[in-house]
Amino acid sequence: MEYITLRNGVQVPKLGFGVFLMNEPGEAEAAVLDAIKVGYRLIDTASRYYNEEEVGAALKKSGVPREELFITTKLWYKDAGYENTKKAFKLSLEKLGLDYLDLYLIHQPFNDYYGAWRAMEELYTEGLIRAIGVSNFYPDRLRDLAQHNEIAPMVVQRETHPLNQQWEAEEWLAKDGVQLEAWSPLGRGKEEILQSSILKTIASTHNKTVAQVILRWFMQRKIIAIPKASHLTRIQENFDIFDFTLSTEEMALIKGMDQKTSIGDVLHDNPKMLDILGQFE
């Protein structure tokens, strides 16, 4: 495994495992257990993925020492505000069966996220969270939060994949020492990414799959990636990316694919996002 060191010295595995939309009974538990057996140590969930208990059950069953695991969950925007955040954090911790969290993220830049951030700063200072950050904050909201609080976010989770590469965002992140983490790193497995002729050609050169090339690209860009996969074969495939290197030319070819667009129209500066998020209640 390769690691990234956050601004506060905390080490994060560069490749993790996401569990969004794993909601069939037993699904998240089985997948996380498989992922841990394969070697993943970073697990990314959220209170509104409704599977924190199953993730917690898998962590316990895995027998892997707690300090080897890196567990992330997220605060839903309806739980924002100082008091609500403290309650939501406690509930997530209970569901996960943990006594501390590795990374806690504000899931969306909505509602009272300043109150939420103050609560998270306290929980961090008390040692209950090893790193704090945000998700779906664009550079304007992120810089505002970073510059008007005692502790700036250490991580931002954003939609990032070959069609939405976030180079401009990364320039802003560098100014505040914030690490980028990619959600939907495989572009949700959509054809326009996995069937790309550019990626297919690079994949065949290395005797790898397109998914492996994309994940390797993240490792070389020093971005944390958290692909989701439901079956053991893909969970293994996505982990088998540490034995090859993309050339400078191949990295440049992938850079040329950037369309700076969200693959599912998931835009947190669009007011309609609040209606979309309502579906997860």
Ligand X SMILES: NC(=O)c1ccc[n+]([C@@H]2O[C@H](COP(=O)([O-])OP(=O)(O)OC[C@H]3O[C@@H](n4cnc5c(N)ncnc54)[C@H](OP(=O)(O)O)[C@@H]3O)[C@@H](O)[C@H]2O)c1
When the beta carbons of 125 and 140 are compared against ligand X, the nearer one is 140
User: Segment near ligand X (CB under 6 A), from 62-70, 87-95, 143-151, 187-195?
Assistant: 187-195
Q: Is 85 in the site for ligand X (CB under 6 A)?
A: no
Number of H helices, E strands in the chain: 12, 10
Q: Quick one: which of 184, 196, 216, 273 contacts ligand X (CB under 6 A)?
A: 184
- Taking the alpha carbons at both ends of the chain, their separation in whole angstroms is 36
Q: How far is the CB of 245 from ligand X (least distance, A)?
A: 19
Task: Supply 64's token pair.
Answer: 């892997």
6, 12, 15, 19: residue in contact with ligand X (rule CB under 6 A): 19
Cα angle value 7/211/20 (rounded, 5°): 65
Kind and range of the H or E element at 166? none
20 near ligand X, judged by CB under 6 A: yes
> Using the rule CB under 6 A, which residue among 229, 254, 273, 277 binds ligand X?
229
Question: Does 228 contact ligand X by CB under 6 A?
Answer: yes
Q: Which of 226, 241, 273, 277 binds ligand X (CB under 6 A)?
A: 226
Q: Which of 3, 40, 49, 113 is catalytic?
A: 49
Is residue 237 involved in binding ligand X (CB under 6 A)? yes
Rounded alpha-carbon distances, angstroms, from residue 92 to 39, 118, 132, 235:
24, 18, 15, 25
Nearest of 101, 185, 189, 177 to residue 142 by alpha carbon: 177
109's tokens: 């830049």
Residue nearest to ligand X (CB): 18
> Least Å distance between CB 210 and ligand X?
7
Nearest alpha carbon to residue 180 among 218, 152, 146: 218
C-beta atoms surrounding 265 within 10 Å: 10
Residue carrying structure tokens 């992330």: 72
Applying CB under 6 A, which of residues 86, 143, 206, 234 lies at the interface with ligand X?
234
- List the x/- string, 105-144, binding to ligand X by CB under 6 A: ------------------------------xx--------
Burial, 272: exposed, middle or buried (Cβ in 10 Å; 0-12, 13-18, 19+)? exposed
Annotation marks residue 3 as catalytic: no
> Does residue 203 interact with ligand X by CB under 6 A?
no
Give the whole-angstrom CA distance, residue 223 versus residue 188.
17
**Looking at beta carbons only, is 125 or 192 nearer to ligand X?**
192
Catalytic center residues: 49
Q: For binding to ligand X (CB under 6 A), which residues are involved?
A: 18-20, 44, 135-136, 157, 183-189, 194, 209, 211, 226-231, 234, 237-238
